Structure 1
């Protein structure tokens, strides 16, 4: 059977707004129910409307729940509440907003109590219910069909229009929220839509995401129209639709990019055990192979560094150190401090403090510019790390941090000028990316010479 013009118009609206067909029908039925009650003038009706989009026909019903017969006190309370509402309506008409506000707040405080009392709009006493249906019982739903009205007045029609618009907006917001709430933690393509003060608004296609300053990379320029990959950090339901927070600085961003670029990670052969990041400057990532025949570092680097270089380019040239995870804290800390060569490590299990001994010529490399290398190592391993030279000179412990924003602008500037750290032991970073693995010893010697 051919669909009516009205049904086709509803389907077109659903496609444009990306909302369910049933949501549009519910909006129309809610609007018709409000318009009927307003036009009839009977405020005690609990109207339910049924709308047929094929022929445009409507039916109206008064729906009430059977309850125990109300007491005299309940009826008096209902009458008093109705009188108070009438006063509020009169005050609104004459514009006495101050008096209306003070009186209007009082009944709202007792809303819970009013809901427990008998409500003639939604409830029907058992005695009256048995007159309509002999076998009626408390809790039953009494549905009475209402006569059709000849026409709806201008006020009722305007009210119905506002209800439809409101309901459609709510349905559209709920649809967007349902689309994005399950995508938290995903990387999506976004375009800078506008910049308002410190906030950057990113166009995701169907919705707009906000990127606060803490979620941006300091060295990047977010000009209108620029395209970026962003991580959906959180999605909350707000008054004006879903509030989506996007991030470029989160550590999870690096993890998700590697999952995309390295099939072994996506397939479960390699596991990312931890990421420590100072966005825009440097990242350390620990990986573990779950298969004996797979090299975790080599897989993440790719042939001639193709895979890690793709991730670095996406992050604006951010340096990435890839280390192998080890369950033994000593070995893990040694790996995390690379490219510096650690002689030995002493652990204080109770305080979770590690003292790493390095040669004099490796001290500055172990600490890094502005303390960045040891700071990232501490964050990655979860240990406070105290780097000392062979003579035992103490440089003070560095605690793990959870906020990459602790990096100062001076440190970030220095780090941006620093050459990408070479491959040492089991650490991989940028400058070696174009070299073959056979050249590693030469690179190690060059790293040692640079630190002297």
Structure 2
């Protein structure tokens, strides 16, 4: 038994990275507990395991005293001297009390301890591996699903994809390969539990880092992301290098880079806009593809009033307010959109201090968008507060 145990400990140390000493300490503790339980003993004992000799012995530890009150824990000085005349008061005497059939109990206990320690070690290794990958992207394989969750294999463990983290325009089938964003890694009594998402804005950010080398190496930075998963998203990008076109880098040659991300997200539309520290420019860029005539900033309320051409109002607002809503979330500013005619009536446009330039020749009315947008009238106005759409992550 000891030879087999030694071989098992060496194998575990090599393959699982579990220290032999750690397992031996656990076995000794378990054997002490087994001895007390099986032989109805409560004294202080020590287990001596000699793997080389193939022996396991139990020793009762008793303190040398003048007067014995508990024979399970104490021994008289007279009795101690019969064992060794050098013993003195408060010394500890060890007496072997190994039961005859202790080997069978020891073997069974050792097996249980080793199995438990291996399981705990494997769970610890998996947890350590995945806790470092929180807020990262991984490729998984769909295994199975129930009404609440989809279970995605990440190799060593199955991750959970909740229904509210699934894209509404996707249907998942077993063996499908999908990219997921690790939102949370929890340590539970049953081992690590990993939650993933397909709707988190972080997934979009990580996909751009994979597809765009300039983002990966830090030349281009993603400043903010606003996403309505499965439908439309906006990201703002910036580069400190004036020779680098941040937006063009993300789009790629003939749109190849952004198209790869669109394909991964099953056709989700993505607007890439240039970030600016100036809220006037940033808000105007964020409302792309709409053209903006002017942006009036209220710093105290972190709010803006945006003036757009009359025929661009529906485009600026977007279907069901989506374009304005995403722009507000992207910039972190409240956005109140007004048509040019209404702004002139209110006396807030034009302004001499306007910082935006507007070229009529650059404006092309989005006819397809307006024809398909039955929810909005060109005379509508909309006010969007970015705080109303912050997602709790």
Deviation at 1:253? 0.6
How many residues are treated as equivalent by the alignment? 336
Q: Structure 2 CA distance, aligned partners of 1:262 and 1:63?
A: 68
Q: How does 1:5-84 map to 2 (within 5 A)?
A: 5-12=4-11, 18=16, 20-22=18-20, 24-45=23-44, 47=46, 49=47, 51=49, 56-58=54-56
Contact residue 274 and residue 287 of structure 1 kept, 8 A: yes
Structure-2 change in CA distance of 1:265 and 1:132 (3 Å)? same
Contact residue 321 and residue 382 of structure 2 kept, 8 A: no
Structure-2 change in CA distance of 1:206 and 1:309 (3 Å)? same
Q: How does 1:330-345 map to 2 (within 5 A)?
A: 330-345=280-295
Structure-2 change in CA distance of 1:404 and 1:170 (3 Å)? closer
Deviation at 1:6? 4.0
Which residue of 120, 127, 131 maps to 2:89?
131
CA RMSD of aligned residues (A): 3.4
Q: Structure 2 CA distance, aligned partners of 1:52 and 1:370?
A: 77
Deviation at 1:250? 0.5
Q: Structure 1 CA distance, aligned partners of 2:218 and 2:93?
A: 58
Structure-2 change in CA distance of 1:329 and 1:59 (3 Å)? farther
Deviation at 1:255? 0.7
Contact residue 226 and residue 234 of structure 2 kept, 8 A: yes
| Paired position in structure 2 for 1:428 | none
Contact residue 59 and residue 98 of structure 2 kept, 8 A: no
| Paired position in structure 2 for 1:409 | none
Structure-2 change in CA distance of 1:27 and 1:310 (3 Å)? farther
SS in 2 for 1:132: coil
SS in 2 for 1:322: strand
After TM superposition, the structure 1 stretch with the greater mean CA deviation from structure 2, 279-288 or 218-227, is 218-227
Q: Please, what TM-score do these two structures have when normalized by structure 2?
A: 0.75
| Paired position in structure 2 for 1:399 | 385
Residues 1:202 and 2:201 aligned together: no
Residues 1:193 and 2:143 aligned together: yes
Residues 1:349 and 2:299 aligned together: yes
| Cα offsets for 1:161-211 (capped at 9, x unmatched) | 444443333332222211211111121111112112221111111111111
| Cα offsets for 1:101-148 (capped at 9, x unmatched) | xxxxxxxxxxxxxxxxxxx99xxxxxxx98234xxxxxxxx7958554
Residues 1:175 and 2:125 aligned together: yes
Q: Structure 1 CA distance, aligned partners of 2:248 and 2:36?
A: 72
SS in 1 for 2:248: helix
Q: Structure 2 CA distance, aligned partners of 1:50 and 1:260?
A: 56
Residues 1:152 and 2:102 aligned together: yes
Contact residue 234 and residue 270 of structure 2 kept, 8 A: yes
Contact residue 352 and residue 383 of structure 1 kept, 8 A: yes
| Cα offsets for 1:355-405 (capped at 9, x unmatched) | 111011111111111111110000011111111100126613111112399
Deviation at 1:245? 0.5
Q: Please, what TM-score do these two structures have when normalized by structure 1?
A: 0.66
| Paired position in structure 1 for 2:248 | 298
Structure-2 change in CA distance of 1:9 and 1:341 (3 Å)? same
Residues 1:236 and 2:186 aligned together: yes
Deviation at 1:278? 0.5
Structure-2 change in CA distance of 1:166 and 1:361 (3 Å)? same
Q: Structure 2 CA distance, aligned partners of 1:191 and 1:286?
A: 31
Which one has more relative contact order, counting CA pairs under 8 Å at least 6 apart? 1
| Paired position in structure 2 for 1:108 | none
| Cα offsets for 1:273-325 (capped at 9, x unmatched) | 10000111111001110222211111111111121111111111211111111
